Amino acid sequence: MEVPVATERNSIQARSRAWLRASLSQIRVQARRPGDFAFRVLLYLFVGIVLVIVLGIGWVLLSSSWPTIQQFGFKYLTNPAFDPIHNTFGVGPALFGTFFTSAFAILLAVPLSVGTAIFLTEFCPRRLRFPLAFLVDTLAAIPSVAIGLWGFLVFAPWLQQTGEPWLQQHLGFLPFFQGTPYGVGMLAAGLILTAMILPIITAISREVMVVVPVSQREAMLALGATRWEVIRYAVLPYGRVGITGGAILGLGRALGETIAVTLVIGNQATPPSASLFQTGYTLSSVIVNQFGEATPGVFLSAVLEAGLLLLLITLLTNILARLLIARMGRVGGGLTA
């Protein structure tokens, strides 16, 4: 299968010439049908606008946060003060709060939602399946501000009066339950995020479990496995990649969630610790709290850099999740076909 380099180059030239000729003739054909041509131009124009918007978001955020990037560099990521009076800006506590609440939420939400998905696809009586699945799906449709309203006016006060003192009394020796219970804080934010990402991870886990081939389950049952063993040794390993993708998609949602978290996280920087009772910031709550006062110049640019960071973090998580889910789709499709 050795192809001489010269022929290769020739063939590329030939191909490109053929492509050029084809597209020229296509344009000529299209010019003969003005309606078609105009439609195509309009379509490409609209698609172009969307592309400009998507790329423009990245460019606008990057260029407008350039002054802070230049002035503070990587110190912006660790500096604990976001202080327009002393003209020093950083998102250290916000980065910590973003990852802390999201990690807490994902640790809690993954077992809960995989469990829910297992019940809905494997165990649930047929009559209950539709209403339960509908309720879990509807949870995803509840606007963030409604959950935040409940979290701030009902849930956080309850945590302060009842929930957190109880935790401190019984589990106070753990590093997670130290300090003064304020109600608002990492615990409230993490729990509310859990409720918000649960339906997403559940939905994707269900989709993944449904594509596991029946033959896999039947093989396991034929070996005398219980229904749980079928799930544990046939369904879950098969769907592992897809479920991980769903979890990361949920993580991306948790990292970017704004209003509900802003309402319940306290928006008061404390020295980072492992305690869930501490109040804090997330990247998005910094933006919500600061954009109103932002004066043009470094302050404005610092707010926008928080947005840029949020964009980068969520982009990376989402691309990773999508790659994993796409791979799962291919594997599943390949095996069932």
Partner 1 sequence: MSVTAQSTKSNPFEAERNGLQLRRSIVNKLSIILTGFFAICASLFLIYLIGYIAAKGLQFINANFFTQRPRAPGETGGGWATALQGSAILITLATIIGVPLGMAVGIFLSEVGRGPFASFVRFLVDTLTGIPTIIFGLFAWVLIVVPSHSFSAVSGGVALGIIMIPTVARATEEVLRLVPNDQREASAALGATHSRTIMQVVVPAARSGIVTGVMLALARVAGETAPLLMTAGGTPFFNTNLFHQIDAIPLRIFNFTLSPYQIERDQAFSGALVLIVFVVITSLAVRWATGGFKRRGR
**Quick one: 12 or 154, whose CB is closer to partner 1?**
154
Q: Which is nearer to partner 1, 186 or 230 (CB)?
A: 230
Considering only residues 20, 31, 107, 153, which one is a binding residue for partner 1 as defined by CB under 8 A? 153
Q: Which of 105, 106, 110, 120 binds partner 1 (CB under 8 A)?
A: 120
Instruction: Report which of 153, 147, 190 is spatially closest to residue 277, judged by C-alpha positions.
Output: 190
Give the separation between CA 305 and CA 90, rounded to whole angstroms.
Answer: 10
Binding partner 1 (rule: CB under 8 A), the pick from 91, 189, 200, 310 is: 310
DSSP sequence for 215-237:
HHHHHHHHTT--HHHHIIIIIHH
Q: Does residue 144 touch partner 1 according to CB under 8 A?
A: yes
Residue 248 Cα distances to 156, 200, 251, 277, angstroms = 27, 10, 5, 25
Q: Which of 242, 280, 307, 332 binds partner 1 (CB under 8 A)?
A: 307
Amino acid, res. 11: S
From residue 170, alpha-carbon distances to 165, 174, 218, 275, 327 in Å are 9, 10, 46, 15, 44
Candidate list 77, 81, 108, 311; residue touching partner 1; CB under 8 A: 311
What b-and-e string marks burial along 212-247, b requiring 16 or more CB atoms within 10 Å of the CB? beeebbeebeeeebeeeebbeebbbebbebbbbbbb
The residue among 18 and 145 lying less far from partner 1, judged by its C-beta, is: 145
φ, ψ of residue 83 to 5 degrees: the values are -130, 95
Residues 236-295 that bind partner 1 (CB under 8 A): 249, 252, 255-259, 263, 284, 287-288, 291
Least separation in angstroms between residue 220's CB and partner 1 is 10
Per-position x/- string for 4-43, each x denoting binding to partner 1 as judged by CB under 8 A, each - no binding: -----------------------------x-xx-xxx-xx
Which tokens go with 310?
């949020």
The pair phi, psi for residue 282, each rounded to 5°, is -125, 170
Instruction: Specify the residue, 107 or 135, whose C-beta has the smaller distance to partner 1.
Output: 135
Choice from 18, 27, 31, 49 touching partner 1 (CB under 8 A): 49
> Nearer to partner 1 by C-beta: 27 or 274?
27
Say how many C-beta atoms besides its own lie within 10 A of residue 43's C-beta.
10
By CB under 8 A, what part of segment 187-246 binds partner 1?
A: 195, 198-199, 202, 217, 221, 224, 226-229, 231
The 3-state DSSP class for residue 269 equals coil
Q: Which of 62, 77, 80, 119 binds partner 1 (CB under 8 A)?
A: 119
The first and second tokens of residue 303, run together, are: 């707010």
175 contacts partner 1 (rule: CB under 8 A): no
Q: Which of residues 51-80 bind partner 1 (CB under 8 A)?
A: 51, 53-57, 60-61, 64
**Closest CB to partner 1 among 312 and 335?**
312
Q: Which of 97, 317, 324, 332 binds partner 1 (CB under 8 A)?
A: 317
Distance CA 327, CA 325 (A): 5
- Scanning 67-75, 147-155, 156-164, 167-175 for contacts with partner 1 by CB under 8 A, the matching segment is 147-155
Nearer to partner 1, 116 or 270 (CB): 116
Please state the separation of Cα 63 from the chain's center in Å. Answer: 24
- The CB-of-108 to partner 1 minimum distance in angstroms stands at 11
Give the nearer residue to partner 1 in terms of CB position, either 143 or 172.
Answer: 143
Q: Which of 175, 181, 317, 155 is nearest to 250 (CA)?
A: 317
10 Å Cβ neighbour count for 88? 17
50 touches partner 1 by CB under 8 A: yes
